[in-house]
Amino acid sequence: MEPGLFFSQLVFSWVLGEINGKIFDLNLQIRKKSLKYWKKIDYVPFMTKNKVGKAIFLKSAVFPQDYPRPGKIEIALAGRSNSGKSSFINALVGSKIAKVSQVPGKTRLLNFFSVGDHYILVDMPGYGFAARSGQEMEEWTQMVESYLTVRENLGGLLLTMDIRRKWDQEEKMLKEFCERVGLPLIVVLTKADKISRAQANQAVQTMKNKNHLNNVFAVSNLESSSVRAVEEFFFNEWVKK
């Protein structure tokens, strides 16, 4: 599936435009080569520090020229509106840096958070929320396309999803998009505390088997070890590697 087609099909969200395939592939090659030169560091689980202020908000951006200067590896987070993405971010860093809203779809920019000396989290706008104007959706299209295709220090994408929801067309297209551009993907099934542990384990296995996914984690913000397992995995695979 061409990236433009993926973006045009996401319901009421990021994407309506088309991407030139040749430029897309060139940007992908540049990103892969660039990742080899980022500083390798030893892993110290950030969550064990649990120090308020260690994770800090850097800036919000729309256009590439406004992104923070490339340095540390960036980890992007995507998810359907109301998927628990902001709560997961807060649990991940041990402080309330991401605003948890009762109104879905409040995130409208790319929000960059520096996590100590280790990496940068990039909170992306949620998809699947209808209360947006056509102009807003077109602006989101350009913003998300640009970031995912040209950001040379992007390590991978975390896709948050309510564990009680079924894998839908939007998630399928996002997975295919990641495969198309060679972007590593981790599916984070949030709100695992809403169901039993046995049900959560079954949900993980079903998600892997039915959708041909390798990296799926069930997390509960009430159980720090589940969130830490996600961080340890992406750090070793994407940041330290």
**What are the structural domain ranges in the chain?**
3-239
Angle at 176 between CA 173 and CA 182, to 5 degrees: 140
Q: In the prediction, which pLDDT does 133 show?
A: 59
Q: Looking at the domain 3-239, which fold is it?
A: Rossmann fold (3.40.50)
Quick check: 83 and 160 in contact, CB under 8 A? yes
Quick check: 73 and 120 in contact, CB under 8 A? yes
Which residues of the chain, if any, have pLDDT below 70? 1-53, 98-107, 128-134, 136-137, 141, 241
Quick check: 14 and 127 in contact, CB under 8 A? yes
Report the distance separating Cα 57 and Cα 163, nearest Å: 28
> What digits encode the pLDDT tens for the residues 183-241?
999 999 999 999 999 999 999 999 999 999 999 999 998 899 999 999 999 999 999 86
Q: In the prediction, which pLDDT does 149 show?
A: 83
**Distance set, CA 34 to CA 110, 161, 183, 230 (Å):** 21, 30, 14, 24
**Distance set, CA 19 to CA 87, 127, 171, 205, 239 (Å):** 32, 19, 20, 34, 27
Q: In the prediction, which pLDDT does 127 show?
A: 75
Burial class (CB in 10 A: 0-12, 13-18, 19+), 68: middle
Per-position b or e across 87-120, b if 16+ CB within 10 A of its CB: bbbbbbbbbebbeeeeeebebebbbbbbbeebbb
Q: In the prediction, which pLDDT does 23 show?
A: 43
Quick check: 171 and 161 in contact, CB under 8 A? yes
Q: In the prediction, which pLDDT does 37 show?
A: 43
At 99 the three-state DSSP class reads: coil
Q: Minimal CA–CA distance to 150: which of 181, 119, 180?
A: 181
Quick check: 228 and 45 in contact, CB under 8 A? yes
